[in-house]
Every structure is written in structure tokens, then in C-alpha cells.
Structure 1
Amino acid sequence: MVAQLQSPKPKLAVTWDALPPDYVLPDDPVENIQQPWLAAALTDALGAANRTQPQMLMGSNFGLVATVNKKIVVKAPDWFYVPQVKPIAEGKIRRSYTPNLEGEPVAVVMEFLSDTEGGELSIRATPPYGKLYYYEQILKVPTYVTYDPYELSLEVRCLQEGCYQRQAPDSHGRYWIEELELFLGIWYGERLGQTINWLRWWDGEGNLLLWSSEQAERLAAKLRELGVDPQQL
């Protein structure tokens, strides 16, 4: 019998260096039309529920930066959340985010699945790093969510002892996202003329966080019940 030798883990020297002002960030197109809709809806619901604060950072297709073995690495997730970042100078525009240098580590990352090389579940440990490997071993993001809107597959992985572990959903098929103190699940319905399977938030009591458009519709309905025409206001 031939002994199987385990490949040594690559050595990672990770630093959090400022991105050079002239660094050209990747500008790849999104893989499908649903990605911007899904990301925008997640942020909209949090804002409508007053769960966003000025010090937070949420974004979509926005570069998260680390320097690995003296080389800059950038990944742009479909959605991410950072609890607290440092303010930027007046008149400046944040064009990327380097954890620890510009604020707290990234707390939650979401990717909507595609079939591209080095994709959302890739554990490639050499450049170009797979996304799962990058979030797990380099950025060390506590919660990594992957969603396939076509297969309706939602998976949540949490960092435990340095490695991601798949989490089990509750009886409603939802996952508790500790960093936001909310449940995340799939919901089918219409938003802004698009009827698809959305990712949505529920609070700890199981109440759905409404989008701003839903809140406006409910307010309009209440006004009509009171005999007030919302369009006359």
C-alpha cells in the first residue's frame, strides 16, 4: 500500500495595506440580471426597518481587499455587510474596502451562484484564489451565504475553528444570521414588477421585514380606509 501524503497548506502572509490610488479595480459584469435585484432588496428591507446606521457598510459588487504574500487580492461579492467602518474624508468616494485598515472585519458575505471558474464554492488555495477560500482563510468572514436562484438552494456557512461549517435551517427553511440578528430565507413574490424568488429577512419573532415599497402600499391602504386619498397629500 502506498502512503498518501497530504499536501502542505500554502503559507499566507496577509496584511491590510492601503490600496494605491491608481489601482485599477475589476469591473466585471454581473453574471445574471437577478443579482442586482436580489442585493438591492436585501439592503432596502434593512433600511426600511431602521436597521442601518451611518457607520455600517453594505454593498454589492464592491471590492474587498487584502494583500496576500505582498500581492493585492480583490473579490467583489454580490452582497456584504460590515458593522462599523471609519468615515472617509469629505468629498471622497469609497471605491473599495480593506478590512482592519478602514474599519472592522467583514461580518457577512453573500454570493449568488454562477458557473464561472474559481466560483462561489471554490477552495482554490493558490492565485487566483477561490471565493470560498478567500472568505474563509484570508478575510475570515464569520458568515458566508451562497444562493442559487434557479435551483432554489440556499446555504449558510459559519466559521468554526478556522473552517466553514454548513448550518441547518429552522423548520421554515430559514437560517439565523447572528451578525444581523435576523433570519434569512427564500420568498416568492413581486417587487418592482419582478416576480421571482427573493432572499428576505425575518426578525427573531418570525415577522417579515417589509420592503419600502410594501410599507408605502400598506400606508396608502390605511389612508384609504380613513377616507383619505394618498394621491391628494
Structure 2
Amino acid sequence: MTQTPISLDIPPAFPDHTQLPESDGTFVKNFQEHPQSILLTDSLGSLLQKLHPDGNYAIGQDCGIYWRETEPPEQGAIAPDWFYVPNVPALLEGQIRRSYVLWREFMAPLIALEFASGDGAEERDKTPLSVSNSGEVTKPGKFWVYERIIRIPYYGIYEIRSHKLEVYHLQDFSYHPIEPNERGHFPISMLGIELGIWQGNYQNQDQLWLRWWDNQGNLLLIGDERAEQERQRREVLEAKLKEYQARFGEL
């Protein structure tokens, strides 16, 4: 007896970062956004080398996080201006990440930051995802997605024009505002550092920037600052050596 082959309608596998759009086609909103992201990443480098000697971490800068399958796909993505994910590889099978796909990773970012060009209303939007009887989908707000779906432990909103910074910590399944400490910084206890605002010149812009400090209040330096600090240290040592030689002769 000949058996008729059974046809199984197997749904396609969930797409990965190579199959999803890497941009929604929108522009960066201001000239400070990219330098700000680079500044945060550069100054965190030394700490991340200690925390992840194996190099297993990823930092996204205006990159998409896919949290829901939709059509078109980019409607199920959200793009923080800066975010850090611990304990995931920087590359996937040797390829540079195009986006961060939650259903492929199962590891949420530890912290996400938004640099608000406006009044921060978009970044504080708590509108939940909902579907009407007619099938119309209400677009959820950023705050709601970060808090209720991705569940990012720390979420910061920096209003660039007003220089206002607020940071939230996920506790008991909801965001609670963190109070600044005596230095005016916001402790990120899971990393042992603080986030605050720093006045200075970076990439030819004299601005108020977001920066990291350690929990003793010491600024985490970028590469140029570390090099300048080392140069000044050498100059001090050379001056002391010359002074010693002038007083006591050559060694």
C-alpha cells in the first residue's frame, strides 16, 4: 500500500539581524547625538575591559532593537540613542551586528539612554500596545516598551536643550526615578558607576555632555584625556628629576 506523503505547513523561522532592516530611514535629530554616543562609549572602555575580559558585550548607538515581529518589520523595532548589553558577543558569526534582535538573544540591555531634542514627551510616552476590534494597532510609547516589554533595568532621558537628566530603575516590574546623589550624579549600581552632566569641549563642541564617573566621584576618562594625563605626569616627573640633578648632580 502506497502512503500519501503528509504536507506540513511549517512557519518560517524568526528572522535574524541579517534579515531585518537596519534603519527606518529617519535622520539623526541634531549634531550632538553621535559625538555624545562616542563620548559615552569611549570613556566606558576601561571598565568594560575589566568586566568583560572575554570581550563579550555589545554597545548600540542609534541601532534598532527588535522586540516584536511586525509587517513592515521596522514597526516592531525601537532605537535607543545609546545602549549597553552585557554578556553577548560583539559579532554574530563573524558579522557586524546590523541590529539587536531580542528573540534571537534573550538578553535585555542593562541600560538605554535617549537624547531628547524636544521636551522629552516622546521618550516619556507610556502608551501601551493595543489592538482595536477592527484590527487597528496603537503604536506603543518608548517608555512603555522599555519598561514593560524589553524590561531594561536602567533608562535615562537627557533633554539636550534644557540640560535636564532623569534616570529610572526597573523595580517590581515598573520604572522608579533615581534620586541624584550629593554630586548630582545618578548611581548605576549594577555597574558601580554614576551618570551625570559634564561641561567641556568635545569634538569641537563646547557643551554640557553626559559622562560617567566611578562611585568615588572620579571622572572616567576618554583616550585623549588619559594620554594627556600621562603626558602631564611625565612632565612632573621630568621636572622633579631635573630639580634633583641640579641640587645633587648627575646620578
Query: TM-score w.r.t. structure 2 length?
Result: 0.76
Q: Where does residue 4 of structure 1 map in the other structure?
A: none
1:193 maps to 204
Q: 1:117 to 1:128 in 2, by over 3 A?
A: farther
Residue 192 of structure 1 deviates from its aligned partner by 3.0
Describe the shift of the 1:199–1:118 C-alpha distance in structure 2 as closer, same or farther (beyond 3 A). closer
Distance in structure 2 (CA, Å) of the matches to 1:20 and 1:59: 13
Change (3 A) 1:172 1:197: same
Q: Residue 184 of structure 1 aligns to a residue in which SS? A: strand
Query: Paired residue for 2:92, among 88, 92, 96?
Result: 88
Q: Distance in 1 between matches of 2:37 and 2:98?
A: 18
% identity of equivalent residues = 32
Which residue identity is paired with 1:96? S
Picking from 120, 127, 150, the partner of 1:124 is 127
Match of 1:97 in 2: 100
How many angstroms does 1:115 deviate by?
Answer: 3.2
Match of 1:67 in 2: 68
Residue segments in structure 2 that go unaligned for 5+ positions in a row = 1-12, 130-137, 240-251
Q: 1:135 aligned to 2:146?
A: yes
Correspondences of 1:37-56 after superposition (within 5 Å):
37-49=35-47, 50-51=49-50, 53=52, 54-56=55-57
Q: Which residue of 2 aligns with 1:35?
A: 33
In the alignment, structure 1 residue 19 sits paired with structure 2 residue 23: no
| RMSD of aligned residue pairs (Cα, Å) | 2.6
Q: 1:211 aligns with which of 216, 219, 222?
A: 222
- 1:9 is aligned to none
Q: Deviations over 1:197-228 (max 9, x none)?
A: 01111111111111111111112223334559
Separation (CA, whole Å) in 2 of partners of 1:129 and 1:139:
13
For residues 179 and 115 of structure 1, do their structure 2 counterparts lie closer, same or farther at Cα, with a shift above 3 Å needed? same
1:88 partner amino acid:
L
Aligned-pair CA distance for 1:70: 8.7
TM-superposition CA deviations, 1:29-87 (whole Å, max 9, x none) = 11111111111101100114545631111121011111268985111111001011145
TM-score, structure 1 as length reference: 0.81
Give every structure 1 segment of 4 or more consecutive aligned residues whose post-TM-superposition deviation is greater than 6 Å.
none
The equivalent of 1:12 in structure 2 is: none
1:110 aligns with 2:96: no
Q: How many aligned positions are there?
A: 212
Q: Taking structure 1 as reference, are residues 209 and 117 closer, same or farther at Cα in structure 2, changes over 3 Å only?
A: closer
CA contact (8 A) 2:66 2:99 kept: yes
